[in-house]
Structure 1
Amino acid sequence: MEDFRKKLYEDIIIKQISRNNDVETAHKCIETLSRVVNNIIDSPNDERKRRLKEKSKTFQSNICGAQGGVEFLVKIGFRAKVIDFEKFYVLEHPLTDNPDSPEMEKLKVAQEILQDFLKKVKDRAELASKMQAKEKAAEELRRKAVLEKIDEDKERRVAARERLQARRKSQEEQETTINEESNSADDSADTADTTDTQSQPEQFYRAYHSSHYRQPNQKQD
């Protein structure tokens, strides 16, 4: 029986169900197999508990859907069988309430292994869930930090745009003031030129005469 326990645990549970499935799939598979074994142990002579329809949703999802699930059933004595044109996995030999029978002993070994490993899987599932929650929280913090940085960049761009607009407005006001002062100076200069021109005395033109150039002592003819 120890050889059976070792092969069931190492070859099926560890090397197949645990190693080749994700935590959630392995958990569902182990939980379903444990329920099947418990039902048979509780009612060993109930044929309905020893017969599993292959097309059922639970069987397809939790046992066929996990690598090693069907192999586990075969290892503890289930065999594929067609009944009324439907495929079943059946534990054919009837069991008795004798706890010392080899068949019952195998089922109890399987029950013990499944319950022990189910606890380990649950612990791993809880750890994985905590890690996912932690990663989700960290991702949320990263996303929040990115959004805050975007808002800060937006505020900086708005502030920079406002400073640029204020600088341009100040330059425009300065240019307007300079132009006004320049125009005022030009107007003042034009006014001064007009005033100077008007203040100059009028010069009258006198007709040219030769006496203007006659020497004082020159005798006249």
Structure 2
Amino acid sequence: MLDPVQLLSAYCDGAFPMGDEDGRISWFRPPYRGILPIEDFHLPARFQRYLRNHPFEVRWNTAFGDVMRGCADRENTWITDIILDSYQELHRLGFAHSAEVWRGGRLVGGVYGVAIGGAFFGESMFSRETQASKVALTYLQWRLKERGFIVHDTQWTTPHLATLGGHEIPSIQYLELLHRAIRLSVTFDDRPRGAQMMFR
């Protein structure tokens, strides 16, 4: 398992880990960083209509490990056992969070990531029903705005994220924004954090 202090410090320095097929951990700091605007989050009109009557229940932090396993349930994944154990420990300490989409008592989609100050580092999402992951991401964006976050780091930008306003910025610009965000006294929820760590 990765040391929690090392892992959180890496995020504060603009780096993040991914597991390799051989069991090793690789660290990344891309020259351009994907972000999803929080204040200017864009929802297509058709999806806005869908949200008014969507069939799902959205929960927070009730099945974090299951969300990670849902994200890892694909042919190729970077969510290895080391990554799974490490982020479940961050969740136990109050730094990692999940937005979960349920239907009929079954977990059908979700997204998870790490929160430090006013920065949220999105890691992965999954969907077992149409629109479930998009609902999870939308509710996550609303929560980040409500709680005062200013950065949602998506690492890279996919065509799907681009439809919601996601884009990439140069690393130097990202780091300036990140260092401002992690100094904010905001939290994802009201759970006490199990580690007294300062990133200011």
TM-score of the pair, normalised by structure 2:
0.25
Q: Which of 1 and 2 has higher RCO (CA within 8 Å, sep 6+)?
A: 2
Structure in which a larger fraction of residues adopt helix: 1
Computing the radius of gyration from Cα coordinates, the structure with the larger value is 1
Structure in which a larger fraction of residues adopt strand: 2
TM-score of the pair, normalised by structure 1:
0.23
